[in-house]
Amino acid sequence: MKCEKINNCPFYQQKMPIDSGLGAIYRRNYCETDKTKCARFMVASTLGPSYVPIDLYPNMVDRAKQIISENSQG
Ligand code: SF4
């Protein structure tokens, strides 16, 4: 299922530098197939879009978990 953030997402809109082949793979595997595995989506859906670092790529799940734990209460 496609991610609903596609139209506004800097990664999907190719505003983040990445090897074009790798970018295409990520767009297919995350944005167009399973957004729930995307690091950007995890942070945005848990904390809000303003918490998503500009340089967070879809595969950076460990960093996403760290950001979420650092900004979550309790
Ligand atoms: S899956 Fe992640 S990178 Fe792709 S459009 Fe959604 S938030 Fe952006």
Is the CB of 42 within 6 Å of ligand 1? no
Is the CB of 41 within 6 Å of ligand 1? yes
What pLDDT is recorded for position 74? 60
Reported residue count of the chain is 74
**Which positions of the chain have pLDDT values less than 50?**
none
| Assigned token pair, 7 | 């139209």
Provide the 3-class DSSP secondary structure of residue 72. coil
> How wide is the angle at C-alpha 52 spanned by C-alphas 50 and 58, nearest 5°?
150
| Assigned token pair, 64 | 């996403």
Domain ranges in the chain?
20-71
| Assigned token pair, 63 | 């960093």
Distance CA 29, CA 39 (A): 12
What pLDDT is recorded for position 73? 76
Is the CB of 12 within 6 Å of ligand 1? yes
